[in-house]
Amino acid sequence: MKCIPSLVGVIAIVVGFGLGACVSSPLGREKVSPPEDLLESGDRSFEGGRFAEASELYKMAAVAASNKNDGALFVEAAAQVSSSLSLLGRSEDGQAWLNQAQEADDGSEQRAHARVLLAGALHLRSTTQMAPALHAFDELYGYCLAMRWWEGAMQAATLASVVAEGPVRVDWCQRTLDAARSAAQPKWVAAAYESLGFAQEAAGDLDSAVDSIRESRKATAPGSRLRLRSDWALAHMLRLTGKLAKAGSMLEAAIPVARRFHSKGYGPRDAEWLGRCFEEYAEVQAAMGRRRAALAAMKSARKAYMLAEIQSLAPQKLRALDARVANWKYEMNRVNKQ
């Protein structure tokens, strides 16, 4: 491992992000957490999609690793700062962290090197250099496979599928599934099949999408939240393939389950999935020509979505939902006037 940047250099970056207090003199301060713990905490936040929180933890981990002269941990933490900022759309802020990670990385530490490759790919993606980004993800995927690091391979393929479109996206989702199978992790396999199904839907291959979602559903436990989401996804695919009665019956069974999850202890995600089930049921009713039933179901969907704070988290979704309702009302009024 190459010599890592001096602590002064790291502090210069951190202060630039308004975190000077994190690296001030330790005199009179509480004990700083070890870099390993900070890195692990950052990983939990990163994996949970809390990228702003993750970036702060990774910055502190980088400083702590530099102070201990731990080159491998510094490279991991600095690379993850860059990755987090890229996912936040702040690639310029992450450039200096990426540069330092690349400079300190000599490829001798496999996990650290994989994180540098990830950071580089995400930086290219966030700066809309899509073709180079896909090439970088391909390099990372191959590297992780060679290491037999299935989780890293899945992450690379999943992120690449976000960049790719059409058949290429389907291919990347298939790679995610291959890595999940190699890992022999049922939950990963279920998630990979689900992603593949939605990629196939986007590519217009609806029959294959139904098959993939069915496979995903097999890996979920009856009565679980994962099964509920699989039921919603399968009903969605069945509706798109014209199997309206089957889709409707699945949703009629799923909605009470979603209600129970929501009533056991309020949580925004449970409210969101209740809303999704009602919305999909509304679409099924509309496809069957039952506009009044569709409007009633969409009203319930909107109510659940508001509990999930859709107005602030996904205002475009709320606008689309209201536009759909307005269109149905217009069609009903036009029919009634005839």
- Structure confidence by residue, pLDDT tens digits, 267-304: 678 999 999 999 999 999 999 999 999 999 999 999 99
Tokens matching residue 140: 């990372």
Q: How far apart are CA 124 and CA 94, in angstroms?
A: 11
Going 84 to 87 to 157 to 180, the CA torsion angle's sign is positive
Confirm if 22 and 14 have CB atoms less than 8 A apart. Answer: yes
pLDDT for 142 equals 92
Distance, in Å, from the CA atom of 254 to the CA atom of 244, rounded to the nearest integer, reads 15
Given a cut of 70, is residue 149 above it in pLDDT?
yes
CB 254 within 8 A of CB 232: yes
Closest CA to 233 of 270, 266, 269, 201: 201
CA end-to-end span of the chain, whole Å? 78
203, 229 in Cβ contact below 8 A?
no
CA geometry: angle 52, 129, 120, nearest 5 deg: 55
Q: What percent of the chain has pLDDT over 90?
A: 65
Give phi and psi for 164, each to the nearest 5: -75, 165
Least confident of 32-36, 61-65, 308-312: 32-36
Check: CB of residue 23 under 8 Å from CB of residue 14: yes
Give the pLDDT mean for 84-102. 92
- pLDDT digits over 223-242, tens only? 999 999 999 999 999 999 99
Q: Determine the Cα–Cα distance for residues 136 and 124; give it in Å rounded to an integer.
A: 8
Question: Cα separations (Å) of 256 from 157, 252, 279?
Answer: 35, 7, 14
Burial environment of residue 296 by CB neighbours within 10 A (0 to 12, 13 to 18, 19 or more): middle
Residue 312: CB partners within 8 Å, gap ≥ 6?
none
The Cα 199–Cα 208 span in angstroms is 10
